[in-house]
Amino acid sequence: MAHDPGLRHPRGGNRNSSGGKNSGARLLGSEGPGSEARGSDGSGHGTRGNGHTSRRRADGRGERTVWERIAESQDGVISVRTALRAGMTEAEIRWKLRSGRWQRPMRGVLVTHSGPITDAQMMWAAVESVGAGAVLGGASAASFDGLRGFDGGPAVVLVDAARHVTRRPGVIIRRSHHLGSDDVYPRRSPPRTRLPRSVVDMASWAPDEEDARAVLAAAVQQRLVTVAELRRVVERRGPLRRNRLITDTLSDLGDGAHSVAEILYRKIENRYGLPAARRQPRIDAGGSRYHLDVWYETWRVWVEIDGGYHREVRQWWDDLARQNAGVLQDRLILRFPVHVLRTEPRLVAEQVATALRQRGWEPNL
């Protein structure tokens, strides 16, 4: 990032500063066409005869200026280009930054307050910095649509495949041929991909296969998307990274699996010839109703899969109480952490098979 004279860094301190005829270009950044206003009025206009937007009404009622309305609609974020088009001057913007009233989290973008910058504002800043046609994608987009457990990390911004965009610190820029109305919400703010598209992209971009399965299962389990919606995205996109894994995982989820652990356990059953168990059945135990992870009802064998390493005390006791009630009702309980299903599937299969044989199961020879 180039240094602007007198510009206050968003985390405190001052940048080197300059002025002169190139100061406007430095404020704007070196990108080509800048972002237009994305707010409710969306005009990006409002300049009066002397180049200034009207400030406050003389009658004291305090009508907001155009740039204020735009910034408010964008969580307090506005691009330098849009602020200038809405009537501000370079001198006003520089004064806001020097005085610490405003911040500049990345080149060409302003946050119109002096407090901590939120994650949502950083997402807005990323989109505004890249400019017209840019949309949030992947986890950045999904976080605005309610997906839990996958937020954090740098902002992910999608642009048209034909567009060249320079790199920006803290922003991952990806190109796509599929940014039409089937894939992008037409009116939501900030602009972003539709949730089914975001989830499929997250699975395709995930660092490993387990994370890819996890995001697909989480989105379905949290009742944010359906398997059918995700399948339509895959079919529409054509070849993509991890296509086979994604389609196989969606098949498992469509057959009733609720989590990555259930998918892994089902593969163990199929691979090692175990009988098919009931998954997530509700049973009565100790006067309460519980869901069991895996239940071999004929032989009264219960397999519990522990997917969490750090659980609250209340949840830990609820699990113990549920298992105690199961023991008292003559249920044989086996328990495995989820990572063992992945790393030692043969051990899991052998122990489950032993428990089933003790209860009368006879495997097919």
Say what the pTM is: 0.66
pLDDT digits (tens, 9 = 90+) for 237-273: 878 899 988 998 888 777 666 667 778 888 899 999 9
Task: Give the mean pLDDT of 96-107.
Answer: 94
User: Of the ranges 73-77, 111-115, 166-170, 226-230, which one carries the lowest mean pLDDT score?
Assistant: 166-170
Task: Give the mean pLDDT of 107-124.
Answer: 95
Three-state DSSP class for 14?
strand
DSSP secondary structure letter of residue 169:
T
State the residue for tokens 């339509």.
Answer: 232
How many angstroms separate the CA atoms of 338 and 315, rounded?
17
Q: Are 45 and 66 in contact (CB under 8 A)?
A: yes
pLDDT digits (tens, 9 = 90+) for 176-189: 999 999 999 999 99
Does residue 312 have a pLDDT over 70? no
The pLDDT, as a whole number, for residue 288 is 58
Does residue 159 have a pLDDT over 60? yes
The pLDDT, as a whole number, for residue 16 is 34
Does residue 47 have a pLDDT over 70? no
How many angstroms separate the CA atoms of 234 and 220, rounded?
15
Q: Report the residue count for the chain.
A: 365
Please, what is the end-to-end C-alpha distance for the chain in angstroms?
69
Residue bearing the bigger pLDDT, 36 or 206: 206
* Contact residues for 59 (Cβ-Cβ < 8 A; gap 6+): none
Does residue 66 have a pLDDT over 70? yes
Residue bearing the bigger pLDDT, 332 or 14: 332
Q: Are 15 and 5 in contact (CB under 8 A)?
A: yes
Q: How confident is the model at residue 151 (pLDDT cuts 50, 70, 90)?
A: confident
